[in-house]
Amino acid sequence: MIRRVSAVAALLVLLGVTGYAQQPAAFRNFNTFNQLVPGIDFFASSRQLVMPYVQPAAETVERLKALLGEELPKGAIFICSSLKQKDSIYEPKVLRSGYSWALTVVTPEVRMEEMQERIKSQMGGEIPEEFLSRIKGRLPEMMADVEQQAVSTTAQQVAHAVIQTMLNKEFRFRSSRVDDMGKSPLPDWLDIGIASYASGNNPNLEYLQQNMDQTFPIEDILSMSRPFTASSILSVGAGAGGFGGGMSNGMGTGSPEGGFGGGGPMMMRGGPEGGFGGGFPPPGRMGGGGAGRGGRGGGNPRMLPKDEQDRMLFDGQASTFFSFMLEKVGIDKMRQLIAEAQEGKESREFVSLPDVLGPDFTKTENEWTDWVKGLKVPQQGRGNRVPGGIPQERSGL
């Protein structure tokens, strides 16, 4: 009898410890929202802040599972509705709590607060009334657009985070390097392609279609590194759904539609991480700058440095070629491609196999070109995201 009681007690202790270990971590200043998306815990002030991210994240996870397998590394997404919350996040502590990766998103209201503080510091402590009134007049439109772009960008970052932490077991995750292709064992084009497909987000499709005469040969895309960008527009731009002219989030996403372009001098180089970069024009120059080639409402992309144009083209080509291949050869071949790439095998060799796309790269590139030209740029918000999975009508995802 004593042995039986001891055994039951030991079992209860074991179950108790196991149950405790399975509980999501708790962080000061945040409420926990788990079991909304498999493998992701959300932390925010309210469920209302979390819900816009749930379906895009769930779709991203399902597509990643189809490509990489059912067991994905667990992650955390923090949605900050105050600067106090944002400042309280200590990423190493989050990772020690059992998460392989962690992302931080701030609400549009926090972005506005950060932007106003930055403008104050650059204008001697006061924001000119003309400038402030113009911002407030466009605020509702801007806020909705920024949140939608933040959702799309976060879904893409989830994909990059999973790829990095799943395929590189020795990798120590850093959210500031989430879109650094060098942190993954896969070739750069495949990193971009998987993330774009999984997130349903191809922010460079429109720019690519408008610049098909400047693309890299597809054969080169399969082996080259993602072009390095030295300037600040992409690297410290508006981040996940930021305001501002020019480009925004480090992945080539344009500024919010109808956002503050103006084409004026950059006043806010080096905006807050994931925040308001891109540059607001001085008072009196607020307005919808000409979109020009490849842009909508955010500065003229003709003025972009060559390295940034090259990166946008590379990302657009990589993402569309991945989707093109997927449509042509199916999910099983794409899983095989990823597996062989993990072993260090060249993508070019796999793509050229007779039962894949074949050895004639000129023919393949011509078919891909026609395919891209036939794609329709989605109009549901910024970032060219197509919610609800892969549409029946081709959209490049």
Residue type, 217: P
Alpha carbons 275 and 18: distance in angstroms, whole number: 40
CA-angle at 332, arms to 331 and 335, nearest 5°: 85
Alpha carbons 263 and 258: distance in angstroms, whole number: 13
Residues in the chain, overall count: 397
Q: What is the predicted pLDDT for the residue at 320?
A: 98
Quick check: 179 pLDDT over 90? Answer: no
Confidence tier at 367 by pLDDT (50, 70, 90): very high
Provide mean pLDDT across the span 36-52.
96
Let me know: does 58 contact 39? Beta carbons within 8 Å: no
Q: What is the predicted pLDDT for the residue at 389?
A: 37
Q: What is the predicted pLDDT for the residue at 227?
A: 94
Q: Report which of 314, 294, 296 is spatially closest to residue 149, judged by C-alpha positions.
A: 296
Q: What is the predicted pLDDT for the residue at 39?
A: 96
Q: Report which of 149, 151, 173, 143 is spatially closest to residue 161, judged by C-alpha positions.
A: 173
Percent of the chain with pLDDT over 70: 71
Confidence tier at 195 by pLDDT (50, 70, 90): very high
Let me know: does 247 contact 235? Beta carbons within 8 Å: no
**Running DSSP on this structure, what letter comes out for residue 28?**
T
pLDDT digits (tens, 9 = 90+) for 87-129: 999 999 999 999 999 999 999 889 888 887 888 887 777 777 7
The packing angle between helices 139-167 and 188-199, to 10°, is 130
The token pair at 58 is 């769930």
Helix (H) or strand (E) holding 79: strand 75-80
Q: What is the predicted pLDDT for the residue at 122?
A: 79
Confidence tier at 330 by pLDDT (50, 70, 90): very high
Q: What is the predicted pLDDT for the residue at 266?
A: 32
Residue type, 46: S
Owner of token pair 């344009």: 254
First to last CA, the chain: 64
Q: Specify the range with the lowest mean pLDDT, choosing from 163-172, 288-297, 364-373, 378-387.
A: 288-297
Q: What is the predicted pLDDT for the residue at 180?
A: 82
Residue type, 208: L
Task: Determine the distance from the C-alpha atom of residue 74 to the mean position of all C-alpha atoms in its chain, rounded to a whole number.
Answer: 17
Helix (H) or strand (E) holding 293: none
Higher pLDDT, residue 340 or 387: 340
**Running DSSP on this structure, what letter comes out for residue 201?**
B
Q: What is the predicted pLDDT for the residue at 116?
A: 78
The SS3 of residue 263 is: coil
Owner of token pair 């080539």: 252
The token pair at 245 is 């002219």
Quick check: 258 pLDDT over 60? Answer: no
Alpha carbons 146 and 382: distance in angstroms, whole number: 8
Let me know: does 99 contact 89? Beta carbons within 8 Å: no
pTM, full prediction:
0.74
Q: Report which of 239, 237, 107 is spatially closest to residue 175, judged by C-alpha positions.
A: 239
What's the whole-number average pLDDT of the chain?
76
pLDDT digits (tens, 9 = 90+) for 283-306: 333 333 333 333 333 344 457 899
Quick check: 61 pLDDT over 60? Answer: yes
**Running DSSP on this structure, what letter comes out for residue 336?**
H
pLDDT digits (tens, 9 = 90+) for 311-325: 999 999 999 999 999
Alpha carbons 379 and 385: distance in angstroms, whole number: 8
349-354 contacts, C-beta under 8 A, 24 or more apart: 351/222, 351/325
